[in-house]
Structure 1
Amino acid sequence: MSVTLILVGVGIPTSGLLRRGRFDPVAKQWVIPPVRDRGRSPNPDASTQHERRFEMVDLQPFSYDTPGQINAWVDHLAALEKSLRLLHDTEGMLTSGSMPEYLFQRTNGVVGLLEKLVQRGCRVAIEGGSEQLTKELLSRCAVLPTDLPDLDADSGEQPLIPPVESRPRKKPKNRNTAFDDSGPAVESAG
């Protein structure tokens, strides 16, 4: 009987999940032996029969270099857009104008970062009453490493989070004082 399982996870090949391990009572932790393959397996990294039965598919973040990659990103944004529950019509909110490029720059194409940014943006839009996601609104929303507590930054699980580009504030113009009235002249007592 054939069964197809689709499992998603981070660092599966190095986690030991697919390899046989042993519990070390002294260290009180599981020990996963290094991969030792004698060249008999079609998978050079496989060490056990269990590991050879899985085909690992490495999913990378979206890219934004070719028209096909851009279309894939925009298609993903369109699917996300359909799931938004804001009062105003959400069609085109994430996919029109320069919004796809803006969202890619903010997330480097990492789906988890995109979802956190959109979640935070929706919360701000609802609380503020605008019920719309705009670049101006999203620029006030930061995605921080603390938003991804389940991912270990030291192991490389946590993606690089691009900083929010803050627009430089315009320096206020000096006030024209040519017509200021300095009040009545002060008479000197003397």
Structure 2
Amino acid sequence: MTAPIRSQERAYSLSIKRGWNRYVNEPDRVPPALLSTRELAALSSRARLEYEEHRSVWHANIGPIKTPQLQSVHQDLWNVLTTNRQDGDKVRPSVVIDAFPGLGKSTIATSFGRDFQHAQIDRYGALTEDGQERIPVVRIQLTDRTSRRDFNSTLCRFFNLPRYDRGNANQLGNRAADTILSCETKLIIVDDVHFLDMRRQDDRAVANHFKSLASTFPVTFLHVGVGLEARGLLAEGLGDDDEDLAQNGRRLTPLTVEAFDVKTERGRRVWRDLLLAVEKNLVLANAHQGMIADELSDELFARSTGHFASLMALIARGCDLAIKDGNERLTIDVLNRVKNDAAAEKARLDMVSAFESGRLSSRPGRQPRRRRQSLRTSA
């Protein structure tokens, strides 16, 4: 029996300080060596297991890639955080990243939080002037039916405070607030804010609690979610006639993340740059330059519909199939065997039709043309 190998996965929760710090401080992954098919065949059974473990986890964690979308949002966030240095008697405006699912908004937010924490500790040190651990960034995630007490308890849990689930909302909130001040926290990332329903009284109380913390403590809130404006977060659940009374409309700066688009030459070039960046990270024995950026560009756009999460899932699953069947390269046939998320598959047929009819192309500088091989799955 082969001895167990060490898992390459990094299992941590970003919603607790220990996990967040591990995400922030662990070094970037190192890709496995690119082996030829002959070198692969020469590996012992254990060495092959270790190699495939490394490859599988590497392909599942490519990135974050510095797309124009990520760079644009990061630039705006740095602008807000750099200027959000008001004294304690003034309110620090908050930020909302509001975008459709699968566009990488959570990755954009957490990667910014990592960069911001590094910058804070590099500038001010790991300890505050009072000798407390400096915790520049808190990252928490809402769940369905989150109450004000639940939110405060989640904050306490992040800081690993004893009895984080004991006490009422005010008691837990005071403990969290004291820790925020003593640890000089500057940024609180709140993901999945779309769980808040402004039609529910408890959820409105949580939204008002955000305002209270932002008004009382030197903290910038970064909210991340889907359809937040449509769900009434900016208007605080008030009707159209009372919308001007909503403080959030003046205190929240909305940002968004756009899907990739190949209807313009600029969009096609951005898409190709993304595929080139992904291609450089693939560890397949028979991969070659242009394998996905040239040969599979239309296919990948049709299968992902320009959504980053759908694209990366398709790439990782395709690599897994290419490794297991021994071909060690991505092809149309391999992609056709991959099952992707429901939303991407639903939009796939219309997109494929546009590419095959010549109405659309994802390749810059080229006129749309019909491919010799159908993009449609043979299944």
Deviates more, 1:2-11 or 1:121-130: 2-11
Structure 1 stretches lacking a partner, 5+ long: 21-31, 39-46, 146-157, 169-190
Counterpart for residue 13 of structure 1: 229
1:71 offset after TM fit, Å? 0.6
Could you say which structure has the higher helix fraction?
2
Q: Does the CA contact (< 8 Å) of 1:102 and 1:135 recur in 2? A: yes
- Conserved 8 A contact 1:74-1:100: yes
- Contact 2:287–2:328 (CA under 8 A) maintained in structure 1: no
Shift of 1:100: 0.9
Report the secondary structure of 1:72's partner residue: helix
AA partner of residue 292 (structure 2) = L
Aligned twin of 2:243: 37
Q: Flag the 1:12–1:91 CA change in 2: closer, same or farther, 3 A.
A: farther
Q: Does 1:122 align with 2:355?
A: no
Question: 1:2 corresponds to which residue?
Answer: 83
Query: Counterpart of 2:281 in structure 1: which amino acid?
Result: S
Paired with 2:260 and 2:271, the residues of 1 have a C-alpha distance of: 6
Q: Distance in 1 between matches of 2:235 and 2:288?
A: 46
How far 1:72 sits from its partner (Å)? 1.0
Number of residue equivalences: 136
Q: Which residue of 1 aligns with 2:376?
A: 165
- Structure of larger gyration radius: 1
**2:280 is equivalent to residue 82 of structure 1:** yes
3-state SS of paired residue (1:55): strand
CA distance in structure 2 between the partners assigned to 1:37 and 1:5 by the alignment: 19
Superposed CA RMSD in Å reads 3.0
**1:6 and 1:83 mapped to 2: Cα distance?**
31
Instruction: Kindly provide the amino acid, as one letter, of the partner of residue 166 in structure 1.
Output: T
Deviations 1:100-132 (A, max 9, x none): 122112222122221221121011112222221
Distance 1:10 1:19 in 2: 15
| Percent of paired sites with the same residue | 28
Q: Please tell me whether the aligned partners of residues 84 and 90 of structure 1 are also in contact (alpha carbons under 8 angstroms).
A: no
Residue matched to 2:257: 59
C-alpha separation between the residues in 2 aligned to 1:166 and 1:101? 14
Is 1:102 the counterpart of 2:299 in the alignment?
A: yes
Distance 1:16 1:87 in 2: 51
What is the deviation of 1:162?
1.2
Q: Shift of the alpha carbon at 1:33?
A: 4.2
User: TM-score normalised to the size of structure 2?
Assistant: 0.31
Is the 2:284–2:319 Cα contact (8 Å) retained in structure 1? yes
Given residue 162 of structure 1, which amino acid in structure 2 is its aligned partner? R
Change (3 A) 1:6 1:91: farther
Higher relative contact order, structure no. (Cα contacts within 8 Å, ≥ 6 residues apart) = 2
State how far apart, in whole Å, the 2-side matches of 1:37 and 1:49 are.
9
- Map residues 19-30 of structure 1 onto 2, 5 A cutoff: 20=236
Distance 2:287 2:378 in 1: 28
Partners of 2:302 and 2:339 lie apart in 1 by 13
Separation (CA, whole Å) in 1 of partners of 2:255 and 2:95: 12
The answer (yes or no) to whether the contact 1:18–1:51 under 8 Å persists in 2 is yes
CA distance in 1, matches of 2:263, 2:377: 25
- Equivalent AA in structure 2 for residue 14 of structure 1: A
Distance 2:319 2:231 in 1: 35
User: Shift of residue 57 of structure 1?
Assistant: 3.0
Q: Which is worse superposed, 1-10 or 135-144?
A: 1-10
Secondary structure of residue in 1 paired with 2:229: helix
Report the TM-score when normalising by structure 1: 0.57
Deviation at 1:52, TM superposition (A): 2.7
- Quick check: 2:235–2:243 contact (8 Å CA) kept in 1? no
| Aligned positions of 1:128-167 closer than 5 A | 128-145=325-342, 158=343, 160-163=346-349, 165-167=376-378
**Offset from partner CA, 1:116-155 (integer Å, 9 cap, x none):** 211210111122222211112111212142xxxxxxxxxx
Question: How far apart are the structure 1 equivalents of 2:301 and 2:232?
Answer: 33
